[in-house]
Amino acid sequence: MSLLWLRVVQLEESTNTTDAVAQAQTGPAAQAPPPDDGANDILIVGNDSRTDMQGNPLSAELLRELRTEATETLNTDTLILLRIPRAGGRTSAVSIPRDTSVTVPGLENEEKINGAYGITKARTAQRMVDAGESDRRKIERESDDAGRTALIQAVQLLTGVRVDHYAEVSLYGFYLLTDVIDGVDVCLNRSTSDPDSGASFASGPQTVRGGDAVSFVRQRNGLPRGDLDRIVRQQTFLSSAMRKVMSGDLLTDTAKLNALSDAVSKSVVMDEGLHFLDLVNQAQALASGEVTFVTIPVTGVGARNARKQSIITVDVPAVRRYVAALISDSPPAPAAPPSSPPSSPPASPPPSPPGFASKGMLDLGAPALARQPAVPCVD
């Protein structure tokens, strides 16, 4: 048995599991797509939970480090659907903007997709308390799984594909993981400052870790295209992080591996059928530039729903056609730029970073990353 395999087994033993994927395919609200849609689909989720895996609140000091002490709601601010063609071919990483307005099974009105998990979790927890349940860990576990199930179902309704596997990392876990790998290399076109996310960065190349890494991927205020530019940051950050992981000694350094296992046990949840070796394989593809980053086509940016929340609108049939075409022999055509209210920033893609594809980093519905080792500068 290879050393790498032993290391992967060690990581798997540290991982928390969920049956939300199986739950999402059953029941009257499921509306599950057919299981054989031509791809193995892994939903990767980043949430901003303010509790640990047992539901215990994180300390005030730690929340300050995470730059997230101002709010108590749970949102899923990173949603990436990995589409791995079963017949072989290039994997696509499909980003879904957090402000996308969608139907969420079990909820009365359309919601921003980043609220599907948190709203369902809160309602489930309250129902359990009202029914007399007092076991805090049971409430936390079951309400979390209800939230995950609702999120998976919302993604399936939006994209028309069946989610086969699920991987989730909390904000705290993200913080820990960036420390384990000694930071991630990024580059900004210009200096930026945003009190809401805690972002305060100079222009040019730099290495971010811990709270700074959290702020880097969470900032949207002050960016030309808000949530869409945040997705560009998340895509470039993920690619850079995977290059760092696969090119370093993480899986052979005992101290680092122990720290990684500790971080995983505190913050990572995967479905019972997903194995760390699957993620290692995808990490290798990400690190080598063999994954195409795309974002679902959208129809409008900066609209307001009935509760005056800023939302991103989509044409669901168009999203489904686009996502389905990612595993066909003919790649989908780039989507037209979304319309925006006069008060919104322009939705057109930014200029291409040096050394990257001729299209912008987030030409909506078009590849966002090319096979280049350099870290691109983004907004």
| Mean predicted confidence (pLDDT) in 62-74 | 76
Within this chain, do residues 35 and 116 fall inside the same structural domain, yes or no? yes
* Residues forming a β-bridge with 194: 199
Asked, for residue 280, whether it belongs to a domain, the answer is no
- 51: DSSP letter: B
Asked, for residue 92, whether it belongs to a domain, the answer is yes
Within this chain, do residues 149 and 261 fall inside the same structural domain, yes or no? no
User: Could you give the angle at the alpha carbon of 173 between the alpha carbons of 168 and 178, nearest 5°?
Assistant: 115
Element (H, E) at 315: none
| Mean predicted confidence (pLDDT) in 267-278 | 86
| Mean predicted confidence (pLDDT) in 187-211 | 93
Q: Is the pLDDT of residue 195 over 60?
A: yes
Asked, for residue 277, whether it belongs to a domain, the answer is no
Residue-level pLDDT at 1: 45
Residue 95 has, within 13 A of its CA and on its CB side, a CA count of 32
Domain extent for 312: 20-169+288-332
Within this chain, do residues 26 and 105 fall inside the same structural domain, yes or no? yes
Quote the CA–CA distance of 49 and 58 in Å, as a whole number: 9
Q: Is the pLDDT of residue 340 over 70?
A: no
- Taking phi over 0 as left and psi of -120 to 50 as alpha, with beta for the rest, 57 belongs to beta
Token reading at 176: 């820990």
Within this chain, do residues 203 and 160 fall inside the same structural domain, yes or no? no
Within this chain, do residues 75 and 116 fall inside the same structural domain, yes or no? yes
102 — pLDDT class (breaks 50, 70, 90): very high
Residues with Cβ within 8 Å of residue 9, at least 6 apart in sequence: none
188 — pLDDT class (breaks 50, 70, 90): very high
| Mean predicted confidence (pLDDT) in 273-302 | 84
Residue-level pLDDT at 69: 55
Looking up residue 76, the CATH number of its domain turns out to be 3.30.420.590
Token reading at 23: 């739950």
Within this chain, do residues 146 and 196 fall inside the same structural domain, yes or no? no
Q: Does 114 or 289 have the greater pLDDT score?
A: 114
Residue-level pLDDT at 213: 94
Within this chain, do residues 161 and 180 fall inside the same structural domain, yes or no? no
Residue-level pLDDT at 375: 86
Integer angstrom CA distances of residue 143 from 58, 73, 357: 18, 14, 43
Residue-level pLDDT at 161: 95
- Among 63-72, 310-319, 346-355, the range with the most confident prediction by mean pLDDT is 310-319
Which of 301, 317, 332 is at the close of a domain? 332
Residue-level pLDDT at 366: 37
Asked, for residue 355, whether it belongs to a domain, the answer is no
| Mean predicted confidence (pLDDT) in 63-71 | 75
Token reading at 338: 């979304």
Residue-level pLDDT at 243: 84
Residue-level pLDDT at 252: 76
Residue-level pLDDT at 26: 86
Looking at the chain, which runs of residues are DSSP E strands?
16-18, 39-47, 76-85, 91-95, 101-102, 111-112, 165-170, 184-188, 192-194, 199-201, 204-208, 268-271, 291-295, 300-304, 310-313
354 — pLDDT class (breaks 50, 70, 90): very low
Reference 365, options 307, 329, 315; nearest CA is 315
Instruction: Tell me how far the alpha carbon of residue 277 is from its chain's centroid.
Output: 19
Q: Tell me the per-residue pLDDT of 124-183, one tens digit each, with 9 for 90 and over.
A: 999 999 999 999 989 999 999 999 999 999 999 999 999 999 999 998 888 999 999 999
Asked, for residue 187, whether it belongs to a domain, the answer is yes
How many domains is the chain built from? Answer: 2
369 — pLDDT class (breaks 50, 70, 90): very low
Asked, for residue 351, whether it belongs to a domain, the answer is no
| Mean predicted confidence (pLDDT) in 57-80 | 82
Residue 173: count of CB within 10 angstroms of its CB: 22
Least confident of 191-200, 221-230, 332-341, 354-363: 354-363
Element (H, E) at 196: none
Within this chain, do residues 160 and 42 fall inside the same structural domain, yes or no? yes
Least confident of 36-45, 309-318, 322-331: 322-331
Within this chain, do residues 38 and 109 fall inside the same structural domain, yes or no? yes
Residue-level pLDDT at 145: 96
Within this chain, do residues 32 and 158 fall inside the same structural domain, yes or no? yes
Asked, for residue 223, whether it belongs to a domain, the answer is yes
Residue 272: count of CB within 10 angstroms of its CB: 14
Looking up residue 210, the CATH number of its domain turns out to be 3.40.630.190
Residue-level pLDDT at 334: 54
329 — pLDDT class (breaks 50, 70, 90): low
Asked, for residue 46, whether it belongs to a domain, the answer is yes
Within this chain, do residues 226 and 211 fall inside the same structural domain, yes or no? yes
Backbone φ, ψ for residue 343 (5° rounding):
-80, -10
Reference 77, options 112, 122, 41; nearest CA is 112
* Residues forming a β-bridge with 39: 85
Within this chain, do residues 148 and 55 fall inside the same structural domain, yes or no? yes
Token reading at 255: 């101290």
Q: Does 333 or 222 have the greater pLDDT score?
A: 222
